[in-house]
């Protein structure tokens, strides 16, 4: 069985432009608003756009911007680096220029919060991006256009000049170029032509002075939904999907003989007479386009979700239509308007009290997303598209080096033993800062892995550059498309865990582990002697999501245990083998968000100092599952209990022998030894969360810490 998905897995990094595969876009925010026969002051429209961006800020940002109708017929852009508040301040300083009091019956405004993927954060690189100095076409974009350099070169040859470093600017200029070639095309038809030329993942919303009162939006691999607000009841809860008459094929821009790019001369198309309007005499309607429901819910709870390659347009008569270029057998004939039954905070955090708690409970889904499209459980094959072209080079290497910081470092410790076993190569694991301090010798036949959730960790990035200068092959493993580590790596793997907002990493840790396990499985595919072991691990991964769900059911029991622990000043976490990394990561989580001293200790080192700390008042957690070091862990456990220690045990489900040594026991499902840490770490994540809540700590934003450590 292959885990299906709507789009190919996000294998490749933006620096590898020769690989035109679809990427999962950075989660940034689009918001657009169209009022038709619903009179609003320009100040109201701008405030609505700004509020929409503020609802999307939690997804991450480094700049923001809006595009609205100016005092003349032109489109006015206001863009600003920094928080949305900085943009608000800049707009307020331009009140006279924008004429806040003008009333507008029909108007389109687009807005965007950006997290840089192409081009540094700056006003000029912020969205909306424009086609030219007169802002004939403007666009906001989430995602990555992988073939943007090809399109950009084509446009430069046609005389277009670029002012930003973004991939988005090529979209705005391409739609202008098409408009000049085909001035009779409708706004929607122009956008259909544009998206046929683009490769990658995107959500787009367009505005143009040539089509006042109209908006066109589309998506491929990036979320986009439309909110609808009317005073009258809607004529239908379904909007029919309309198709171009002859189902045109995607046109190849590149002429293989001359490598000159040429655009298509025409597109077979058909207009539809289907109308989407309110019933009754009042035809006023407001449309809200957003990448997240949190920006829409305060205005309306009536939304429809666009699917990949849907082109949604609102014409000059306020009619919403949805077109597709091609008809597929499985296509639905309509898009249903659904009713959101959630509040703003619920959409952002669900029914959880913090992002960290939400992200812990998202792990059954995030591990599936990490494996999606990469593991075939029936044929027991693993393909990581981002590194497959480099497999032969990796197999010939002298050694593997895994370099990271914090939680990412613990994921490398967790998988080191398996990598050594399946690759039969020496595997070094290093903290990036220590690696740099030692001026570690690096050779051209080394392969260096750099693991970072954000892709911007300063020490890890410096270590990457150090190794790259010495000729090593660089493999990046991150959760952030377009990050510095992505761009500067030769190849890599996107862990695809989804946005992680809480400072304390949870789901990214388990996804990093799985990514490294998948690499070990892929690199050992040609080793006949390793096949039984590979098969065991792959089938273990198959059952992992359900086992994580089972572990999460321990939440209430862990909450009770936290009431005993939270008043203590210190805590020890003991384990060995594959679970040693669990101890380090669990102790780090407790330090990070509870401000309680905690230490992860290798159980084999207990007699070399840490045993002096053990008494009846010291809370101790032992991770002791049924694996090849179980007997040694039992020995350490007996040493603890002999000194009046009262350990809390994380053990294999159904292990009756070990329970008599524990005051509390948390049983987790048994799996393959190298995957056991994916299950044993979750009780420690939950414990740290509940202890932090009882101690009154800010779970999502612990003091003195940041999500992305971009300074040494």
Model confidence pLDDT, tens digit, residues 575-584: 999 999 999 9
User: Sorting pLDDT into bands at 50, 70 and 90, what band is 711?
Assistant: very low
pLDDT at 414 over 90: yes
Q: How confident is the model at residue 1 (pLDDT cuts 50, 70, 90)?
A: very low
Asked if residue 657 has pLDDT above 80, the reply is yes
- Average pLDDT for residues 201-228, to the nearest whole number? 92
pLDDT tens digits for range 488-528? 999 999 998 887 878 899 999 999 999 999 999 999 999 99
Give yes or no for a contact between 167 and 233, defined as CB atoms under 8 angstroms apart: no
Between 583 and 115, the higher pLDDT residue: 583
Res. 19: pLDDT tops 70: no
Which of 8-17, 206-215, 380-389, 607-616 shows the lowest mean pLDDT across its residues?
A: 8-17
616: its two tokens: 């009846």
Kindly state the average pLDDT of the residues 265-274: 41
Q: How confident is the model at residue 251 (pLDDT cuts 50, 70, 90)?
A: very low
DSSP annotation of 142: E
Residue 120: what pLDDT? 62
Does the predicted model carry a pTM greater than 0.95?
no
Per the prediction, the chain carries an average pLDDT of 86
Query: Do β-strands 137-145 and 200-208 pair in parallel, antiparallel, or remain unpaired?
Result: antiparallel
What is residue 512's predicted lDDT score, i.e. its pLDDT?
A: 98
In this model, does residue 688 exceed pLDDT 90? yes
Helix axes 507-523, 363-371, angle to 10 degrees: 30
Higher pLDDT, 4 or 599: 599
Residue-level pLDDT at 427: 97
* pLDDT band at residue 277 using 50, 70 and 90 as cut-offs: low
Pair of tokens at residue 669: 């499902």
Rounded distance between C-alpha atoms, residue 703 and residue 427, angstroms: 35
Q: Which residue has the higher pLDDT, 663 or 427?
A: 427
- Cα–Cα–Cα angle for 526, 479, 138, rounded to 5 degrees: 125
| Residue 577, C-beta contacts closer than 8 angstroms, at least 6 positions apart | 417, 627, 628, 629, 633, 673
Between 711 and 476, the more confident residue is: 476
Q: What is the DSSP string of 18-83?
A: T-----PPP--EEEEEEEEEEEEEHHHHHHHHHHHHHHHGGG--SEEEEEEE-SSSSEEEEEEES-
Select the more confidently predicted residue: 468 or 706.
468
Q: Helix 676-694 crosses helix 555-565 at what angle (to 10 degrees)? A: 50
* Higher per-residue confidence, 484 vs 405: 405
* Residue pointed to by tokens 């029936």: 378
In the prediction, which pLDDT does 562 show?
95
- pLDDT at residue 408, rounded to an integer: 97
Confidence at residue 482, expressed as pLDDT on a 0 to 100 scale? 64
3 state DSSP class of 545: helix
């Amino acid at each position: 069985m292959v885990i299906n998905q709507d789009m190919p897995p996000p294998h490749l990094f933006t620096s590898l432009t020769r690989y035109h595969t679809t990427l999962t876009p950075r989660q940034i925010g689009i918001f657009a608003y169209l009022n038709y026969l619903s009179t609003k002051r320009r100040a109201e429209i701008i405030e609505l756009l700004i509020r929409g961006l503020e609802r999307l800020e939690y997804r991450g940002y480094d700049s923001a911007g809006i595009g609205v109708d100016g005092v003349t017929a032109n489109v006015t852009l206001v863009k600003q680096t920094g928080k949305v508040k900085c943009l608000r301040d800049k707009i307020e300083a331009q009140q006279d220029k924008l004429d806040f009091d003008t009333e507008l019956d029909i108007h389109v405004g687009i807005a965007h919060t950006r997290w840089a993927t192409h081009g540094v954060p700056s006003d000029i690189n912020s969205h909306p991006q424009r086609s030219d100095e007169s802002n004939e076409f403007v666009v906001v974009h989430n995602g990555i256009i992988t073939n943007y350099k090809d399109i950009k070169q084509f446009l430069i040859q046609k005389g277009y000049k670029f002012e930003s470093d973004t991939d988005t600017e090529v979209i705005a200029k391409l739609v202008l170029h098409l408009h000049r070639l085909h001035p009779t095309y409708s706004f929607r038809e122009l956008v259909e032509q544009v998206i046929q030329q683009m490769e990658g993942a995107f959500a787009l919303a367009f505005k143009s002075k040539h089509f006042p009162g109209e908006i066109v939006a589309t998506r491929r691999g990036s979320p986009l939904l439309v909110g609808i607000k009317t005073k009258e009841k809607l004529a239908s809860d379904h909007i029919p999907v309309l198709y171009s008459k002859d189902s045109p094929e995607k046109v190849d821009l590149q002429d293989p003989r001359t490598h000159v790019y040429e655009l298509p001369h025409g597109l077979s198309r058909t207009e539809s007479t289907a109308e989407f309007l309110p019933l009754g005499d009042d035809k006023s309607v407001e449309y809200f386009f957003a990448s997240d429901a949190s920006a829409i819910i305060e205005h309306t709870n009536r939304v429809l979700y666009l699917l990949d390659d849907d082109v949604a347009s609102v014409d000059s008569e306020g009619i919403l239509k949805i077109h597709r270029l091609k008809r597929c057998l499985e296509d639905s004939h309509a898009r249903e308007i659904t009713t959101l039954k959630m509040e703003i905070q619920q959409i952002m955090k669900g029914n959880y009290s913090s992002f960290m708690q939400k992200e812990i409970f998202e792990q059954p889904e995030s591990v599936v997303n990490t494996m999606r499209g990469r593991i075939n459980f029936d044929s027991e094959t693993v393909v990581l598209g981002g590194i497959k072209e480099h497999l032969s080079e990796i197999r010939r290497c002298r050694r593997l080096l895994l370099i990271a910081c914090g939680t990412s470092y613990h994921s490398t410790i967790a998988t080191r033993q398996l990598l050594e076993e399946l690759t039969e190569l020496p595997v070094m694991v290093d903290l990036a800062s220590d690696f740099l301090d030692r001026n570690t010798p690096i050779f051209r036949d080394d392969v260096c892995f750099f693991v970072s959730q954000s892709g911007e960790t300063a020490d890890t990035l410096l270590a990457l550059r150090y190794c790259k200068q010495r000729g090593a092959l660089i493999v990046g493993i991150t959760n952030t498309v377009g990050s510095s580590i992505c761009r500067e790596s030769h190849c890599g793997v996107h862990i695809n865990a989804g946005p992680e907002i809480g400072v304390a990493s949870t789901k990214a840790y388990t996804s990093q582990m799985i990514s490294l396990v998948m690499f070990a499985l892929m690199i050992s595919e040609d080793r006949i002697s390793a096949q039984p072991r590979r098969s065991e691990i792959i089938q273990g991964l198959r059952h992992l999501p359900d086992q994580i769900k089972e572990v999460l059911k321990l939440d209430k029991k862990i909450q009770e245990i936290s009431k005993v622990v939270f008043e203590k000043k210190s805590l020890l976490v003991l384990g060995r083998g594959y679970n040693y990394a669990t101890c380090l990561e669990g102790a780090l989580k407790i330090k990070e968000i509870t401000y309680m001293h905690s230490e992860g200790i290798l159980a084999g080192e207990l007699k070399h100092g840490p045993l002096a700390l053990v008494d009846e008042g010291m809370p101790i957690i032992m991770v002791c599952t049924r694996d090849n070091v179980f007997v040694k862990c039992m020995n350490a456990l007996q040493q603890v209990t002999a000194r009046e220690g009262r350990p809390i045990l994380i053990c294999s489900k159904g292990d009756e022998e070990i329970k008599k040594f524990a005051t509390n026991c948390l049983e987790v499902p048994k799996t393959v030894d190298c995957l056991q840490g994916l299950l044993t770490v979750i009780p420690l994540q939950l414990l740290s969360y509940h202890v932090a809540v009882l101690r009154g700590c800010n779970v999502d934003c612990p003091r003195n810490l940041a999500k992305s450590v971009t300074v040494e």
